[in-house]
Structure formats: C-alpha cells, structure tokens
Structure 1
Amino acid sequence: MEHAKFYEEIADGPAQGAAYWMHTDDNVRVRVGTYGGKIDRKGTILLFLGRFGYVERYGRVAKDFDKNGFATVVIDWRSQGLSDRMANDPNTGHIHRFSDYQKDVAAMVRAAEELNLPKPWYLVGVSMGACIGLRAMLEGLPVAACAFISPMFGIKMSRLQRVAAWPLSWAAQTVGLGHIYVPGESGEIYILNTPFEENNLTHNADMYEYWVNQARAVPNLQIGGPSMAWLYQGLAECRGLSKMHSPDIPCITFCGELDELVENHAIKDRMERWPNGIFEMIKNAKHDVLTEPPVIGGEVMNQIVGFFSDSRQVE
C-alpha cells in the first residue's frame, strides 16, 4: 500500500490519521483514510460518506468515534476527494454505473484487512453512502451492525421533477451525454456558494465553518453538482433496492425532519421492513443529523456507539 496525501491540519481528527492509495478492480485509484487504528479498540467504523464526502470531511466525527473506543476507515468515492475523477470536468459528480461504487467498497475492505484494523467492523452510512452500504451488506459486507444517517433510499424531488428526471437522464446517458450536469446544477462548490443561513445540511454554524475552511484550504477535495448519469443511476439504484429484502444485521437509522435531499417516506418504509430495525425521526434537524449542534448530533452519536456496543455484547 502506498501512502497518500492526508490533510491532517484541516481534518481536526484523532491522532494516527493517515491515507493510502488503493486501486479498484477496474483500475480506478481511490484514497482510503484511517483514524485511530489502536489495537485496544472496540472495533472499526466503516464510514461511507455521501456525495460531497472525502476523508477529512468527517475528521471531527472520527474524533468522537475514537473517544468512544472505535477506529474509523473512510474512502473518497470515485469522482470525489483525491480519488480519480470520472469526467473531463473534475467538478462533476459523475459515475458510469452505480454498481461501480461496490468496486470502491471492495478496495476499502482490502485496505482495512491489510492494515489489520480492529474487528468487529461496523458500518455508518451517510446519505448516498448508506445507499452504497445497503447494497454492500446485501452482497456480503462483513459488518456486525450498521447505522444510517439520512440514507439515500429515495432522492427528494417534486412529482413534476421526477416525471422529467427518468426519461431525460436516461436519454442523456444513452446518447453519450451522461457526463453533463443535471439541469440547474454546475461546477460551483455548494459549501462556498451557500451562506450558512441558507444551507440544507446542518444548523451547526461551527461545523459549517469547518467545512468552508476545508474547501478554501484544499479546493481540489470538492465537487460540484451531479451528472445526468449519476442521477439516472441513482434513481435506478434506489428503485432496485426498494424491492429487495433487508439484511439480517442490526440497524439503527436517523432522519432529519427538515431534510430537503432524501425521501424520508422511503426510509421509513425500508426500516419497517428491517428485522428489529430502529428508526428515529429527529425533530427540527436538517440532512446531516450527525453534525447538527451537540444537543442533537451528540445524542445521535451516543445512540450509535451505544447500539454498536450492545450488538458487540450480544455476539
């Protein structure tokens, strides 16, 4: 494994942070990061972030996991962070097929195995990362339990937008224009072009400033809007997963009552079909409930680590 660039100064994570290059089965170079790989850990969090995610983005969250006895491993998905970009315009959130993310998961698991990260492993999936994570668990991802934060089991849009999104995104990909931005989107960096008061991610001003400072310090970690191919593939993956059973793995899920990005009713439907699954709707919370102010985000963190610790005792 080759060491990769890791921006410790902007991550503000626990000690022993590091990053590594891995190559996927289709020869895409992805960056995998680790936080706190001590031997005496309770286990390791496989942190699957969303469409804006990169290794350093959740450094402070990894610090909280570390304080609670867990190591963390996280990946820059293809077209994100320092991993290879799939479109000529590097700001495009672009993929060819949603299943390609599973190749990234496989590379992340190989890295965790080669680094001998403490077991048991637990999955924390945020937004798109939860969608990727659900598919991975259905395909055998070896985790003892999972926690989902506003999982992308459905993409929120109006009825008119949804009617138009399917044929337009399919047509764009079919005629070789899958790389173009979704109408209304661009290469602009959301976190740098949206005032805190108007953001749809968190009520936590300190966390938002932390992300803004990261984007200003290392702009090449960021991406802009999604491509038409990402939209079509994302819609198709959500539909496909909705027809599949829930894995027999302990799961706790949190959604923000004010979420503007994912469909909460699709999440509730999934959790009603999850054996012994726990679902919590967080009042007055936006999309990223784990980074909301401590009265909310801190309680979500406590519930997650408690849930994982309980599942470990059952084993």
Structure 2
Amino acid sequence: GQHFGLGSETRQTATWVPDPYAIEIGKPAPAGYDERWFINVHAIDTRGAPDKLACAECRCDFYNVTVDEAGSRIGNGYVGGLHCCYDSTRCRVDGAFANNGEPPRKLFLRYTVSWLDWSDAVHVPVRIYILDVTDTALFDGNPNPYCKVEYRVDECSSEDRAKNNCVDMKTTEEMVSHGGDLVYAVAHLHRGGLGSSLHGQDGRLLCKSMPIYGTGQEAGNEEGYIVGMSTCYPEPGTVKVSDGEVLTIVSNYSSERQHTGVMGHFYILVADQQEQALNKPTLCFSFPYSWCLPSWMWSNQM
C-alpha cells in the first residue's frame, strides 16, 4: 500500500499521484511474497472520556491493561502507545456515561478505490518509501531497518518552559536504495505535532510538511485534532535523490505536556526520470488545500 499509519489528517491531505506517475499493482510478487489489499482500522471511542487526549494517545493507565495483545507483560517504562489500546480494549469513561444504559453504537466505513488499466506508454511507475524517525539502524550500524513505529515525547523542563522552548525535535537518517525524481512527499504526525521536514545528504530541504489543526466541531474540522498535512509536489525533474543517498527526517512535537504513542513518518514517491514525465503537465490547486488533478481528467478539454 501507499501509506502505513494515517489518521484524522486524511480528510484534508492531498493524496493524488500526479500524472503521468502511478502506483503499479498486479505484477508478480517476489518469491515468497503475495500481493494483497487490506485495510487495518484503529478506531478509539472517546465519548464520555475524562481525558480524550489520553485515550487517543493510548495511555496504559486509562485502558487499565498490564499485558499487550500477545499476552506479554507490558514493561514499567512503557507509559502508553499501541501496546495498550489493541482490539477490544476500552478507554476509561466517567460514571455518568458508563451507566447511562445506552446500547452499543455501530459505525460503518466506506472506501472508494479508483484505478486505471496500466499502460507502459502512458504511465511512469513510482517506488514507495516509508521513512520512520524511530528507525535507528544507520546510527546503530545495523544493515536492516529497525523501525519502532512510535515513540514518547516527555513534558519539557521548567527551564525550557520559562524560555518558551517546549519543542521536542527527533531526527534520524535513512538510506534510499534506488533514487530518482521526487514526485510526492508528505509527513504523518499525531496530535501535538508541529511539523516535519525531509533533507538530502547535503542538507538541502526536500520537503516540509506542516499540520493543519481543526477549529470547529463539525466532522473533518474537529478542534485540536490534525485534520490535514501539507504536501510536496515538485515539478518533474526538479527535486532528485541519488542511489544510496542518506536522507534526514526531522519530526517536531510540542512538549507542553507528555505525548505517548506518537509517530513521525514521511512517505515519499520516487520515479526514474523519463522524458514523457517532463512533457505532460498536471493541473494543481492550493485551495482549500494542495491537490492535483491527473491530466487524463482535464487534458482533453485544452
């Protein structure tokens, strides 16, 4: 799939793959692998919760669990995260809500998947890279990725608070095995996130992805929640990464309070440079958020 780990920001985040680039599926999988589609939904009910953020961040004391989904005991140093809010666990609610006798609420999700038949004469395939700020393999001298997926942001010290410097910055380096033109990039952050950036080996900025926080009560604009992330759509051929280039991921969170189970991912699409990719325009918009319309939907009108 294109992404691993997405949240409430999907409502206002552009996910178009600009024409003529495309994600190719249906090719024979490597030996020992199968190609499959799946959706893994992680939904948290915060109705009646005395601390909605603690529920959303899977604080272990709010879920009253001491073992993880596999039945292994959770370590004392693990305050919150995915190990404490697995399937069928429930976050703490206040007495009035817990005892009101309402029947369970059923929710249904609907997804629309669009695709085109592949044509080598029209489409340029992209490679998907999922970069994780918790991956310390290069720092540790480990040849294999070591992604922890999530991490904890501790509350800032009184000294930093006095200096108005309650920002937690986490960085790591990851290598891109096969380079090319950067086609698309976006970060994934949790509530409390301040922004993320991706840099080349020489320090150049490849993409800066900033959160959009909701300001209301309606669906898709919930106050205090990240409802969108800014994206990067470089002009074809203008932003490149080299084979084996080491990229730096920077993930920033507010440390005004502790945050548990946060993520700092960067998703990028990289394609081999091809002449046809430079000659086919893409129609892009910046309002109400950045998104692009594939040329096959509009080029016939020009």
- TM-score, normalised with respect to structure 2: 0.27
Greater relative contact order, per chain length (Cα 8 Å cut-off, separation 6+): 2
Structure having the higher strand fraction is 2
Structure having the higher helix fraction is 1
Tell which structure's C-alpha radius of gyration is larger: 2
